[in-house]
Amino acid sequence: MVRTPLTPEERERGERFGRLLRDARGGRSMTEVAAGAGISAETLRKIETGRAPTPAFFTIAALARTLDLSMDALAAQCAVAPAAAAVV
């Protein structure tokens, strides 16, 4: 299966999401958070480093629940910034 390459905006959004997760994890170990979310520590590491910038919805929801994050806040903070409006 061939995947469509990610756009620069999608890669940046994945990196931003990873930073948010690392910040929310705080002093908790990656293994502890991953176990709480029902994913492997390797999967969490890939998400946090931006190597897996498009995790499944249910993975995001499980991480949000485990880290006590609002899905609405995550969506707002990870939204792609709108392109600059054209000057007319």
**85 lies in some domain:** no
**What are the pLDDT digits (tens) for 25-78?**
999 999 999 999 999 999 999 999 988 888 999 999 999 999 999 999 888 888
63-71 contact pairs (CB < 8 A, 24+): 63/21, 63/33, 63/37, 63/39, 65/37, 66/33, 66/36, 66/37, 67/21, 67/24, 67/25, 67/33, 68/24, 69/20, 69/24
**60 lies in some domain:** yes
**What are the pLDDT digits (tens) for 8-18?**
888 888 899 99
Record the pTM.
0.81
Name the residue with higher pLDDT: 32 or 88. 32
Q: The CATH number of the domain where 31 resides is what?
A: 1.10.260.40
Q: Domain of 54? A: 8-78
Q: Could you give the number of structural domains in the chain? A: 1
